[in-house]
Amino acid sequence: MHSPRTDRILHQFLNARLADGSLADLTVTEGRFRAITPAAKAATPPPGAIDLAGKLVLPGFVEGHIHLDTSFYGDAWRPHIPCTTGFDVRERVAFQMQNLAQAAPMEERAKNQLELCIGHGSLAMRSHVMVDGVVGLKHVETILAVREHYRELIGIQLVAFPQSGILSSPGTAELLDEALKLGCDLVGGLDPASFDRDVKGHLDVVFGLAEKRGVGVDIHLHDAGTLGLFEIEEIAARTTALGMQGKVAVSHAYALGDISADTLARAGEMLAASGVAIMSNAPGNHAFPPVAALRKAGVTVFAGSDNIRDSWWPYGDGDMLNRANMIGYRSGFYEDRELEAAWDVASHAGAKALGLEGYGIAVGAKADFVALKAEHVPEAVVAVPRERTVYRGGRAIARDGAMIG
Amino acid sequence: MHSPRTDRILHQFLNARLADGSLADLTVTEGRFRAITPAAKAATPPPGAIDLAGKLVLPGFVEGHIHLDTSFYGDAWRPHIPCTTGFDVRERVAFQMQNLAQAAPMEERAKNQLELCIGHGSLAMRSHVMVDGVVGLKHVETILAVREHYRELIGIQLVAFPQSGILSSPGTAELLDEALKLGCDLVGGLDPASFDRDVKGHLDVVFGLAEKRGVGVDIHLHDAGTLGLFEIEEIAARTTALGMQGKVAVSHAYALGDISADTLARAGEMLAASGVAIMSNAPGNHAFPPVAALRKAGVTVFAGSDNIRDSWWPYGDGDMLNRANMIGYRSGFYEDRELEAAWDVASHAGAKALGLEGYGIAVGAKADFVALKAEHVPEAVVAVPRERTVYRGGRAIARDGAMIG
């Protein structure tokens, strides 16, 4: 992760509403909160201070799972092509290659998507980037350059993602290693059972590279039911064995939505003990990990947009506050504490899963925040106000969805 | 339904994008489209003509199920109160009575909600209004007055809704009859089995009143599985027996989401033959009617917001384009034709279910429409652009969510 531009200028914000409902004045220097004090409501505010007038202040949203290399957002509309029969990852990857061959340059598409996300308030992100025998390291090289270009605006972690499998796509293990050397922060994986047909072989490569390069792991796992659960058990066991607690995530983990309450309780204990985080985008017509039960068990559950208008589906708006709404809506979260939990998944829990330093509205934390009109977090989650100002290190960088300057 | 203010002034709209992607010029007089012609792109546009500059033009959205009397939208935040154990309609009704006793005046709350809906583009609506032994006709009288106040802006059908059951709440049958005399357009019902414990007795009253007063029927049915299916069968049989095809709807009909594909196929045939429409809001964590399968069987499936920030749940934004997005998201609709179907549920199918005259973008139809920036319907459904202008009878009445004037 890169640091935001340190900015020696003093920024003062008056009458910020905190999550507890109180009003506070915020002082920022060198990109961090230096003081958070009860609102003074002075008759003559200090010159240059910005009056937030009771707007709710939330830490920058954490986009925990996105694909910067494959979206067509801002490019021409590409109608979704259905699989011949049912859902087939290999066929979808083939459609993706066809679509990408006709698309606008990747750099441009990635920038469109990044500005969509930043404009809504995401200031930290984990993006998977495709690595395989066909595209080699081309996607990684492009997205590394895009990350560099945006480093003052958003912190981006990159996962070297074996989109075509590891054992299925010869040379991929070496390419993943090369991607980590180039600057990827984590090594990815993809359905070790259903895609590569070899759980042990796939995980040997993934965890072998993680150990060799000292990086984290984030594995795409769509496999359902007991098969998916078996793979999660294997991932948790390897995480514990390597002392990688807190550095491993399973994305999607649909299996956790399929199993009985008893089995889930055991899985939750195992995930909490091994420090393996679970990422979900709260899919629309698919079982997904039970957010409340997993959180109660002590599991870090975080969220991401996943695909945004790409070859996998046409949905996605890059708004992690709207994602919190969907997490809540799909989970049957109605009470205030539940709506707060939905928000936590898109913010603090994401920061924990990504291992972010200096996250939150707190003295010493990075002054990366979003101001919007809501009385409190539950209202923000149900209303999803579109009017927002996004601050990076205390500097306004986006307003109402559009980048400033 | 009331007619919009007839307006003899000529309105001309240039370069409107139609659903088929073509650009057209629209001529409106007396509140209706008089001509729709390929865009002339004249160097000197007629004076007073509005250039829509390629914006997509959609007919006004149809809000098919809402509760104008019970929302707290725009009033103080009221935290959701959970039921003591599981979900209990009676307990929820009791919470609702507590909440309403402390709320802002109903008229004000109903207006807040109506302007939210109109601001997003809904120009026709069906609202259920509570009738029971405690509130009597008070809600109906208030909402009838609100309807009158808004008649130039939106057409509203009112359902006399027995929120506390019919047989369970003595005097309700007579009150429902009175509500119809006062001006309600349909008679409602509520879970004849699980709430009133007497399917035949409940439906005797509902269909008896419908026949006596010559009005339609719209029944809330949450009952699951084979019990709910049995009630749907009874409703369909009575609809056919009374020749009421096209005038009866079942709202929620969760049971249709619980049953096997074979049983659903038979239910679909029965619903299509009896002309009973199905309303769904695509709930977040609950099985719901399979939209594609029912549409394929010839069933009219329409949509509504249902509750908006009330005693039942905190969600809801009054945006039927966003509801179309949720219908699609929850149904796994990815292809263009599927996204168009999701939109149809929130527009043309709603107009059919409500029996609206003059609906659509067509010569002779009412010039009730929404202009927004999208290439086509599929893009509008996934992007849900918030910037919109809403026209009633050719007159702009709302822009970007706020009423004009």
Q: What is the pLDDT along chain B (405 residues), one digit of tens a residue?
A: 344 455 577 899 999 999 999 999 999 999 999 999 999 988 888 889 999 999 999 999 999 999 999 999 999 999 999 999 888 888 988 999 999 999 999 999 999 999 999 999 999 999 999 999 999 999 999 999 999 999 999 999 999 999 999 999 999 999 999 999 999 999 999 999 999 999 999 999 999 999 999 999 999 999 999 999 999 999 999 999 999 999 999 999 999 999 999 999 999 999 999 999 999 999 999 999 999 999 999 999 999 999 999 999 999 999 999 999 999 999 999 999 999 999 999 999 999 999 999 999 999 999 999 999 999 999 999 999 999 999 999 999 999 999 997
Q: Which of B128, B222, B252, B286 is catalytic?
A: B252
Are B284 and A336 in contact (CB < 8 Å)? no
Residue A72 sits in a domain whose CATH number is 3.20.20.140
If asked whether residues A160 and A19 sit together in one domain, one would say: no
Q: Which of A315, A382, A386 is opposite residue B314, by nearest beta carbon?
A: A382
Q: What is the pLDDT of residue B3?
A: 45
- The residue type of A29 is T
Regarding whether A38 and A134 lie in a shared domain, the answer is: no
CB contact under 8 A, B330 and A79: no
Which of A79, A80, A335 faces B79 most closely, judged by CB atoms? A335
Shortest CA gap B313–chain A (Å): 6
Query: What are the two backbone dihedrals, phi and then psi, of residue A332, each rounded to the nearest 5 degrees?
Result: 70, 35
Q: Nearest residue on chain B to A287, judged by CA atoms?
A: B285
**Strand A301-303's sheet: what is its strand order?**
A61-66, A122-130, A155-161, A186-190, A216-221, A248-252, A276-280, A301-303
Same domain, A290 and A393: no
* Alpha carbons A159 and A250: distance in angstroms, whole number: 12
* Mutation target vs A (from B72, B311, B334; most A CBs, 10 A cutoff): B334
Residue of B nearest to A314 (CA): B334
- Looking at the complex, report in whole angstroms how far the Cα of residue A219 sits from the nearest Cα belonging to chain B: 23
Q: Which of A307, A393, A304 is nearest to A353 (CA)?
A: A304
Q: Can you tell me the distance from the alpha carbon of B353 to that of A230, in angstroms, rounded to the nearest whole number?
A: 48
Q: How far is CA A236 from the centre of its chain?
A: 21
Point out the residue among B80, B285, B331 whose CB comes nearest to the CB of A331: B285
With respect to residue B6, please indicate whether it lies within any of the assigned structural domains: no
Instruction: Name the β-bridge partners of A35.
Output: A27
Residue A1 lies in a domain: no
What pLDDT, on the 0 to 100 scale, is given for residue A1? Answer: 38
**Statement to judge: residues A221 and A264 lie in one domain:** yes
Nearest Cβ partner for B80 among A285, A286, A334? A334
Residue that finishes a domain, picked among A319, A339, A354: A354
Range of the domain at B46: 11-60+360-403
> How many domains, in total, are found in chain A?
2
Say if B246 falls within a structural domain: yes
Which residues of chain A does B335 touch, with a Cβ-Cβ cutoff of 8 Å?
A: 79-82
A284:B317 CB<8 A: no
Picking from A79, A330, A378, the nearest residue to B314 by CB comes out as A378
- Chain B residues lying within 8 Å of A81, measured CB to CB: 335
Q: Are residues B370 and B292 in the same domain?
A: no
Q: Which residues of A touch B326 (CB under 8 A)?
A: 284
My answer on whether A284 and A153 are in the same domain is yes
Q: Which of B334, B354, B374 is the last residue of a domain?
A: B354
Cβ contacts from A onto B, under 8 A: 77
A314 in a structural domain: yes
Residue in chain A nearest B309 by alpha carbon: A382
Q: Residue B110 half-sphere exposure, CB side, CA atoms within 13 Å?
A: 25
Report if residue A6 sits inside a domain: no
* Same domain membership, residue A155 and residue A39: no
Report the distance separating Cα A149 and Cα A118, nearest Å: 14
pLDDT of residue B88: 84
What is the rounded distance in angstroms from the CA atom of residue B278 to the CA atom of residue B178? 26
Q: Quick one: average pLDDT of A169-183?
A: 97
Residues of A in contact with B341 (CB under 8 A): none
| B2 inside domain | no
Average pLDDT (A13-33) is 96
Average confidence score pLDDT of chain A: 95
Q: Which of A333, A377, A387 to probe by mutation at the B interface, max B CB count within 10 Å?
A: A333
Provide, as residue numbers in chain B, all residues whose Cβ is less than 8 Å from the Cβ of A316. 382
Within-domain flag for A398: yes
For B364, what's the count of Cα atoms within 13 Å in the CB-facing half-sphere? 2
- For residue A252, report the phi and psi dihedrals to the nearest 5 degrees: 80, -65
Mean pLDDT within A124-131: 98
Beta bridge partners of A188: A218
Helix (H, G, I), strand (E, B) or coil at B270: helix
Contacts of B77 in chain A (CB under 8 A): 375-376, 378-379
**A22 and A160 fall within a common domain:** no
Judgement on whether residues B128 and B230 belong to the same structural domain of the protein: yes
In this predicted structure, what is the pLDDT of residue A405? 76
In a domain, A5, yes or no: no
A262 and A155 share one domain: yes
A323 shares a domain with A174: yes
**Chain B CB contacts of A82 below 8 Å:** 334-335
Residue of A nearest to B83 (CA): A335
Q: Which residue of B has its CA nearest to A383?
A: B317
Indicate which of A56, A78, A80, A387 best probes the interface with B, i.e. most B CBs within 10 Å of its own CB: A80
B156 backbone φψ class: left, alpha, beta (φ>0; ψ -120 to 50): beta
Distance of residue B233 Cα from the nearest chain A Cα, in angstroms:
27
Give me the residue from A79, A331, A376 closest to B335, CB to CB: A79
Contact A329 B285 (CB under 8 A): yes
CATH number at residue B36: 2.30.40.10
Do B17 and B87 lie in one domain? The reply is no
Question: Of B336, B354, B372, which residue is a domain's last?
Answer: B354
CB B132 within 8 A of CB B174: no
Write the CA distances from A18 to A56, A376, A377, integer angstroms.
Answer: 6, 8, 9
A259 three-state secondary structure: coil
> What amino acid positions of A are annotated as catalytic residues?
252
Please state the ipTM of this predicted complex.
Answer: 0.95
User: At A4, is the pLDDT very low, low, confident or very high (cuts 50, 70, 90)?
Assistant: very low
Interface mutation target, options A78, A327, A334, chain B, most CBs of B under 10 Å: A334
Cα-atom radius of gyration of chain A, to the nearest Å? Answer: 21
